[in-house]
Amino acid sequence: MPNLAWGIFISVLLGVAMAAPSILFRITGRQEENSAATRRRMTAIYGVLSFVVGFAVFARVSARTSLAMGLAGEALAGEALQAHQEAIDFELWYRMMTPPFLRPACYSSEPTVCALSDDVIAASAGVGWGWGAYCRLFGFGVIPGLVTTGLVWLITRPRPSDGSEKPGESGGEKSDDQASPTAI
């Protein structure tokens, strides 16, 4: 399924892009000042922000796709649809971001926008407006959140203090040669 593969690819790219600002902590050297609690908070904030942005972006793309499919239909091409295209676009976006069991009949106060939005949804049945579509959007939001969380956690990890320790040494343990001064 190419749409799923492209969605996952774009989700991963979005996660990498959302983690990029955390590199500034590494470059500027301010990373040493951070405690473990600050690192956890920063990782959580970046991850949640990345999830929200990813979910909103994919919901917007799905809403735009629905509108394009609805406009392609002959029955929906009219002056009323063209006049209210922006309002219909936002109506579809809000509906796409809301779980199916919480969706109101309409977000707009204009009955024309509500009726035209319902017509666009009916004409764009291929996009999907049920639980399957909502879970797919949610998953496309979770992927950048996880990618961002992992990258921020790796980027902000503590550096070795002076570089004199060899990899694998913990610094606190003594070797057999140093264990006691009376060792033979």
* pLDDT for res 77: 59
Low-confidence residues in the chain, pLDDT < 70: 1-2, 28-34, 70-78, 80, 125-128, 159-184
* Interatomic CA distance for residues 62 and 68, integer angstroms: 10
* pLDDT for res 42: 85
* pLDDT for res 175: 47
SS3 state of residue 121: helix
Distances (CA, A) of 155 to 35, 39, 54, 93: 14, 10, 21, 34
* pLDDT for res 5: 79
Q: What is the CA radius of gyration of the chain?
A: 26
**CA angle (141, 25, 9) in 5-degree steps:** 25
- Give the HSE-up count for residue 120: Cα atoms under 13 Å, Cβ half-sphere: 32
Does residue 41 contact residue 153 with C-beta atoms inside 8 Å? no
* Alpha-helical segments (H) within the chain: 2-19, 23-28, 36-72, 79-83, 85-97, 111-123, 131-155
To the question of pTM greater than 0.75 for the whole model, the response is no
SS3 state of residue 157: coil
* Interatomic CA distance for residues 147 and 12, integer angstroms: 6
* Interatomic CA distance for residues 54 and 141, integer angstroms: 4
* Interatomic CA distance for residues 14 and 152, integer angstroms: 13
- For the four alpha carbons of 108, 112, 117 and 122, in that order, the dihedral sign comes to positive
